[in-house]
């Protein structure tokens, strides 16, 4: 019979052997130890092994009993966050909120509307029928507009006059203001 072993099959065999050895070591380590027969103990200096036949040491029995007692207790999670255990909900401090008297505040008056923001970016000139006509480049609340004398702007403002270095605008009440080039 002819077998060809690939690297993968060799790896699988090695992994299987390693797993079987590990399982065997766990089983033999956890197997109960008989109290009969010779027991090898190491001294505190670690140099001499003594064989005690048929008798157990008095110092190991309380430790074993204490260990078994500890191992039989249910595990208690440590304080802090444990994402696998749900505990009781802690009480909120709602009593403090209930104790505070909440009185309604007087109605606030709405703030006056914000003044429109006009900024003069530039002035352009062109000739129509032999007459120079000035056009202002205004920023009206963030929007660029090209306006001439008599044009309307936002919020009731209108352009009164366009000069070479300034623009005069007026609101609906007739109050005029001049905006100059920076």
Rounded Cα distance between 112 and 98, Å, is 36
Rounded Cα distance between 170 and 73, Å, is 88
The phi and psi torsions of 17 (rounded to 5 degrees) equal -65, -40
Task: Give pLDDT, residue 78.
Answer: 64
Q: Which helix (H) or strand (E) holds 168?
A: strand 166-170
User: Is residue 82 predicted with pLDDT exceeding 60?
Assistant: yes
Helix (H, G, I), strand (E, B) or coil at 23: helix
Task: Give pLDDT, residue 148.
Answer: 92
Using a cut of 0.85, tell me whether the model's pTM lies above it.
Answer: no
More confident residue, 128 or 40: 128
What value does the mean pLDDT take over residues 107-130? 84
pLDDT in tens, 33-61: 555 544 444 444 444 444 444 444 455 56
- Residue-averaged pLDDT of the chain: 77
């Amino acid at each position: 019979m002819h077998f060809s072993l690939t690297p993968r099959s060799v790896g699988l065999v090695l992994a299987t052997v390693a797993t079987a050895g590990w399982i065997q070591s766990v089983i033999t380590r956890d197997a109960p130890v008989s109290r009969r027969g010779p027991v090898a103990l190491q001294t505190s200096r670690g140099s001499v092994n003594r064989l005690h036949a048929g008798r157990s040491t008095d110092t190991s029995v309380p430790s074993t009993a204490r260990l078994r007692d500890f191992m039989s207790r249910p595990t208690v999670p440590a304080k802090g966050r444990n994402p696998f255990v749900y505990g009781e909900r802690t009480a909120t401090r709602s009593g403090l909120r209930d104790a505070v008297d909440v009185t309604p505040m007087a109605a606030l008056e709405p703030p006056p509307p914000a003044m429109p923001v006009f900024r003069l970016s530039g002035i352009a000139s062109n000739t129509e029928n032999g007459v120079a006509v000035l056009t202002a480049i205004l920023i009206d609340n963030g929007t660029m507009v090209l306006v001439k004398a008599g044009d309307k702007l936002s919020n009731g403002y209108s352009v009164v006059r366009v000069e070479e270095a300034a623009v005069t605008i007026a609101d609906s009440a007739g109050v005029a203001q001049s905006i100059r080039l920076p």
